[in-house]
Amino acid sequence: AQSVSQHNHHVILSEAASLELGCNYSYGGTVNLFWYVQYPGQHLQLLLKYFSGDPLVKGIKGFEAEFIKSKFSFNLRKPSVQWSDTAEYFCAVNARSGGFKTIFGAGTRLFVKA
């Protein structure tokens, strides 16, 4: 069965620090990969996605993620975080052969200190 593992449940950073959130999935076939963000009190929004092509994808607000197929990883990065990036981040995987069922990771809560 598919699963998604996010390595850090809570991350605290100061503004301007660099961010990297780990995400690993378990599935041997072709996958679509997503990062969603949930700001406090709001619903989940898509941050970025990977379907095919360049494994380095860029999303909104300066976020990017790199798909490393050999490592089954899709880590999220941002070179310099802002206070407004405080949110919960979810990695999600959809197996193309598995219909439209998307599996979400447990989430990583990021707190950025001003």
Residue numbers at the binding site for other proteins (CB under 8 A): 32, 34, 36, 42-46, 49, 51, 90, 94, 96, 99-107
DSSP conformation class of 111: E
70 versus 100: smaller Cβ distance to other proteins: 100
23 versus 107: smaller Cβ distance to other proteins: 107
Closest CB 81 distance from other proteins, rounded Å: 23
DSSP conformation class of 80: S
Smallest CA-to-CA distance from 91 within 28, 30, 39, 25 is with 25
Closest CB 45 distance from other proteins, rounded Å: 7
Smallest CA-to-CA distance from 72 within 36, 103, 28 is with 28
